[in-house]
Amino acid sequence: MKYETIITLRENAIGIITFNRPEQLNAISIKLREELTEAFQTMSNDDQIKAIILTGNEKAFAAGADIKEMQSKSYMDMYLHDNASKLQTVLKNCRKPIIAAVSGYALGGGCELAMMCDFILAAENAKFGQPEVSIGALPGWGGTQRLTGLIGKSKAMDMCLTGRMMDAREAEYSGLVSRVFPVEGFLDKVIEIATPIASNSVPVNQMIKECINQSLETNLQSGLLFEHRQFQAVFATEDQKEGMSAFVEKRKPAWKNY
Residue 208 neighbours by CB under 8 Å, 6+ apart: none
Q: How far is the CB of 50 from ligand CO8 (least distance, A)?
A: 29
Q: Which of 109, 115, 126, 171 is the binder for ligand CO8 (CB under 6 A)?
A: 109
32 forms part of the interface with ligand CO8 (CB under 6 A): no
With CB under 6 A, what is the number of residues at the site for ligand CO8?
20
Nearer to ligand CO8 by Cβ, of 14 and 107: the residue is 107
108 forms part of the interface with ligand CO8 (CB under 6 A): yes
16 forms part of the interface with ligand CO8 (CB under 6 A): no
Nearer to ligand CO8 by Cβ, of 97 and 131: the residue is 131
- Window of 7-15, 66-74, 144-152, 232-240 that interacts with ligand CO8 by CB under 6 A: 66-74
For ligand CO8, the binding residues in 150-209 under the rule CB under 6 A are none
Nearer to ligand CO8 by Cβ, of 8 and 24: the residue is 24
Which stretches of the chain bind ligand CO8, using CB under 6 A?
Answer: 24-25, 27, 63-68, 84, 105, 107-109, 131-132, 135, 137, 140-141
